[in-house]
């Protein structure tokens, strides 16, 4: 104790205070020593902690502080110099460690603050994510309700069922006390209560369409909250005292509203709206949520689409019924037309048989009578009878052929025939008539023209004879030439309005008849192939006829897959008639060469009678 004056002179102190300080230092030392143990346990149990070395420094500081207080226990009594030195070293070490720890905390605190900031940021993001997940769950639930409602609504296409189903499903899904639909009236000046969920519709439930609440609903594309006391919300009787419920309203577009009449609904409205009113249960604190209003808006749109589909279906059903009625009427008309055609054909067949027989007798007897000795007046009368009889016989034949062509009962008689013989027979028939009129007639058959062909010989000869007969008929002087050849493919391609179908077993026959007759005026060309139509120009008015010859020729040529046309430079400049028909090639032309037999020339009397007959035709 000689070198230490720590306790010299001894300072007086009350024993009680010293005792309290002694006890306090002991517990402080005990607390300081327990804290590092807790930190060691925390670091050991923690899976991740970035500041372990800071904890080491802090632990050392705490241990030194505890050691200082522990050593200080020996200073309350007489102590040695060693205790004083240990106490001094402990305090110096504590001061150094505490300063180092303080300086280190200066650098660590900003990092800790940034960690706290990130923690707050992550916490806010987590809350935002929770809100979004809640919104997604709400949307999924809304979508499920919408799909369910849409399925129920579109399970039928009856408009009234759609509206009633909509109210029932909305009331069940949203737990509504009442749901109603207001539809526009015929005049468009008011809304009428047409459907309710639970309460009966009272007579005269109308709301003016220019009401402020109605205009507010019409002008908004979203569901809105309306006052419970407004006219639109008066859809149930008021009884007793109750808490006013919250009421929502949304517009329902009426798309393509047509013939949709309930009570006094309009037949046609290009752009109008209905109003759907939804009422929450009364005597409750329940309010409308955003997702519920969105569900109502989606359902309103789906109802509008369903109503549009129902309107289209109704229109299509009406169109189908109308079409069925028209089809029935058309079928009845077709049957009547077929009966009329059969009756006409029967009549024509009877006329053909019953009238041709006496007509041929009159023609034959008149021809024989002309060969006898007659006075000029008698001869004129007999020639008139013969001419009129020939005209009537020709008209009967043309009418019968035309009727068969029009009803489709005429069929071509396809078979092999001598093609050259057809032209010789035609020339034998028209030469006597041309000789009487002193006309020059020539025929030229191309070298490549086949001897035989497959087709309808009778209709081909009738067509050639009709065209050649017209040339003789409308030519007073000059000449007539008939040319027959095989049409070349390049020639066929240049013909307008004609699409030939080439084939190895067929060929196209080209027949051309030229005359120096009266010609055809431009205004008459459009009517040449019209039945019962005749040229109206001055040069053609002296020629009589039924106007059926060219019309029948055109039908025959069409049946033979051909084309016919006439060309003329004008009135008085002659005419060229050309037609093309499709014929089959014959596989045995040698047999037809052996069958060719010269035609017996008619007697002088027969030539004269034939000339008179053809002249009249």
Mean pLDDT highest for which of 387-391, 398-402, 429-433? 429-433
Residue 382: is its pLDDT beyond 80?
yes
Residue 28: is its pLDDT beyond 50?
yes
Q: What is the pLDDT of residue 262?
A: 45
Tokens in use for 545? Answer: 């006829």
CA angle 499, 504, 510 (to 5 degrees): 55
Q: Other CB atoms closer than 10 Å to residue 178's CB: what's the count?
A: 21
Q: What is the pLDDT of residue 240?
A: 53
Q: How far apart are CA 441 and CA 430, in angstroms?
A: 8
pLDDT tens, 521-579?
777 776 677 755 555 554 554 455 556 678 888 888 988 999 999 888 878 788 999 99
Q: What is the pLDDT of residue 391?
A: 65
Q: How far apart are CA 513 and CA 612, in angstroms?
A: 22
Which band of pLDDT confidence, cut at 50, 70 and 90, is reported for residue 69? confident
Mean pLDDT, range 362-379, rounded to an integer: 85
Q: What is the pLDDT of residue 236?
A: 72
Mean pLDDT, range 63-79, rounded to an integer: 73
User: How is domain 159-257+270-312 classified at the architecture level of CATH?
Assistant: 2-Layer Sandwich (3.30)
Mean pLDDT, range 349-367, rounded to an integer: 78
* 454 phi and psi angles, rounded to 5 deg: -115, 120
Q: What is the pLDDT of residue 313?
A: 78
Mean pLDDT, range 502-528, rounded to an integer: 84
Q: Judge whether 507 and 452 are in contact, CB under 8 Å.
A: no
Q: What is the pLDDT of residue 203?
A: 60
Q: How far apart are CA 393 and CA 380, in angstroms?
A: 20
More confident call, 157 vs 331: 331
Kind of pairing, strands 247-254 and 272-279?
antiparallel
Residue 109: is its pLDDT beyond 70?
no
Q: How far apart are CA 137 and CA 144, in angstroms?
A: 10
Q: What is the pLDDT of residue 602?
A: 38
Q: What is the pLDDT of residue 167?
A: 85
Q: What is the pLDDT of residue 271?
A: 64
Q: What is the pLDDT of residue 610?
A: 37
Q: How far apart are CA 67 and CA 90, in angstroms?
A: 7
Mean pLDDT, range 129-140, rounded to an integer: 78
Residue 580: is its pLDDT beyond 90?
yes
Q: What is the pLDDT of residue 108?
A: 66
User: How is domain 411-533+546-585 classified at the architecture level of CATH?
Assistant: 2-Layer Sandwich (3.30)
Mean pLDDT of the chain: 76
Residue 511: is its pLDDT beyond 80?
yes
Radius of gyration of the chain, Cα coordinates, nearest whole angstrom: 60
List C-alpha distances in Å: 339 to 331, 332, 344, 345.
Answer: 12, 11, 8, 10
Q: How far apart are CA 579 and CA 562, in angstroms?
A: 7
* Nearest CA-CA partner of 73 in 30, 128, 103, 108: 30
Share of the chain above pLDDT 70, in %: 69
Residue 55: is its pLDDT beyond 60?
yes
Global confidence as pTM = 0.42
Mean pLDDT, range 245-268, rounded to an integer: 64
- DSSP for 517-537? SS---HHHHTTTTSTT----S
Q: What is the pLDDT of residue 611?
A: 41
Q: What is the pLDDT of residue 510?
A: 93
pLDDT tens, 188-201?
788 888 888 887 77
Q: Largest alpha-carbon pair distance within the chain?
A: 202
Residue 604: is its pLDDT beyond 50?
no
Q: Judge whether 548 and 554 are in contact, CB under 8 Å.
A: no
pLDDT tens, 200-252?
777 668 888 888 898 999 898 899 999 888 888 887 766 555 678 889 999 98
Q: What is the pLDDT of residue 461?
A: 86
Q: What is the pLDDT of residue 402?
A: 67
Residue 288: is its pLDDT beyond 60?
yes
Q: What is the pLDDT of residue 3?
A: 44
- Within 155-243, strands assigned E span 178-184, 190-196, 206-208, 224-226
Which stretch of 88-102, 323-337, 405-419 has the lowest confidence by average pLDDT?
88-102
More confident call, 80 vs 318: 318
Q: How far apart are CA 313 and CA 260, in angstroms?
A: 12
Residue 279: is its pLDDT beyond 60?
yes
Residue 121: is its pLDDT beyond 90?
no
- Residue 26: strand, helix, or coil: helix
Which stretch of 88-92, 138-142, 493-497, 539-543 has the lowest confidence by average pLDDT?
539-543
* Nearest CA-CA partner of 204 in 234, 228, 227, 229: 234
To the nearest 5 percent, what fractions of the chain are helix, strand and coil? 55, 15, 30
More confident call, 569 vs 45: 569
Which stretch of 32-41, 300-309, 549-558 has the lowest confidence by average pLDDT?
32-41
Mean pLDDT, range 89-104, rounded to an integer: 72
Mean pLDDT, range 488-495, rounded to an integer: 86
């Amino acid at each position: 104790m000689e070198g230490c004056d720590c306790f010299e002179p001894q300072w007086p102190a009350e024993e009680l205070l010293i005792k309290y300080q002694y006890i306090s230092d002991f517990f402080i030392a005990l607390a300081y020593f327990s804290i590092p143990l807790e930190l060691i346990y925390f670091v050991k149990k923690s899976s991740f902690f970035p500041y372990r070395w800071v904890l080491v420094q802090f632990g050392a500081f705490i241990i030194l502080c505890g050691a200082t207080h522990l050593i200080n226990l020996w200073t309350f009594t007489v102590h040695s110099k060693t205790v004083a030195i240990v106490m001094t070293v402990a305090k110096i070490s504590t001061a150094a460690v505490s300063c180092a720890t303080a300086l280190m905390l200066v650098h660590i605190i900003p990092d800790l603050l940034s960690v706290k900031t990130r923690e707050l940021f992550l916490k806010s993001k987590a809350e935002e994510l929770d809100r979004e997940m809640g919104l997604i769950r709400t949307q999924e639930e809304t979508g499920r309700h919408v799909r369910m409602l849409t399925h129920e609504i579109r399970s039928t296409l009856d408009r009234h069922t759609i509206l009633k189903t909509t109210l029932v499903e909305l009331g069940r899904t949203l737990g509504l006390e009442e749901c109603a639909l207001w539809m526009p009236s015929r005049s468009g000046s008011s809304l009428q209560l047409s459907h309710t969920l639970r309460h009966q519709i009272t007579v005269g439930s109308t709301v003016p369409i220019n009401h402020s609440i109605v205009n507010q609903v019409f002008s908004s594309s979203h569901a809105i909250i309306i006052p419970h006391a407004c006219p639109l919300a008066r859809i149930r009787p008021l009884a007793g005292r109750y808490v006013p419920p919250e009421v929502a309203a949304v517009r329902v577009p009426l798309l393509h509203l047509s013939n949709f009449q309930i009570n006094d609904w309009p037949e046609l409205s290009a752009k109008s709206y209905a109003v759907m009113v939804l009422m929450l249960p009364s005597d409750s604190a329940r309010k409308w949520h955003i997702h519920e209003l969105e569900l109502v808006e989606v359902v309103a749109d789906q109802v509008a689409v369903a109503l549009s589909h129902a309107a289209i279906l109704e229109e299509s059903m009406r169109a189908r019924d109308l079409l069925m009625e028209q089809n029935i009427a058309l079928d009845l008309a077709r049957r009547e037309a077929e009966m009329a055609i059969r009756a006409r054909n029967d009549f024509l067949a009877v006329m053909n048989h019953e009238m041709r027989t006496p007509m041929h007798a009159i023609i034959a007897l008149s021809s024989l009578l002309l060969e006898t000795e007659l006075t000029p007046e008698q001869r004129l009368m007999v020639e008139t009878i013969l001419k009129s009889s020939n005209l009537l016989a020709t008209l009967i034949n043309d009418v019968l052929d035309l009727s068969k062509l029009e009803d489709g009962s005429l069929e071509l008689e396809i078979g092999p025939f001598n093609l050259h013989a057809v032209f010789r027979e035609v020339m034998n028939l028209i030469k006597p008539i041309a000789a009487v009129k002193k006309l020059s007639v020539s025929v030229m058959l191309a070298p490549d023209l086949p001897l035989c062909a497959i087709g309808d010989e009778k209709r081909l000869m009738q067509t050639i004879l009709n065209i050649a007969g017209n040339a003789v008929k409308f030519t007073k002087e000059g000449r007539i030439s008939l040319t027959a050849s095989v049409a070349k493919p390049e020639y066929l391609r240049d013909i307008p309005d004609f699409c030939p179908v080439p084939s190895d077993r067929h060929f196209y026959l080209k027949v051309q008849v030229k005359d120096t007759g009266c010609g055809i005026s431009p205004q008459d060309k459009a009517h040449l192939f019209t039945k019962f139509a005749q040229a109206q120009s001055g040069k053609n008015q002296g020629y009589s006829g039924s106007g059926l010859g060219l019309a029948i020729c055109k039908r025959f040529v069409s049946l033979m897959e051909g084309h016919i046309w006439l060309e003329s430079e004008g009135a008085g400049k002659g005419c060229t008639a050309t037609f093309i028909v499709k014929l089959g090639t014959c596989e045995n032309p040698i047999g037809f060469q052996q069958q060719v037999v010269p035609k017996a020339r008619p007697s002088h009397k027969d030539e004269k009678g034939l000339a008179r007959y053809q002249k009249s035709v």
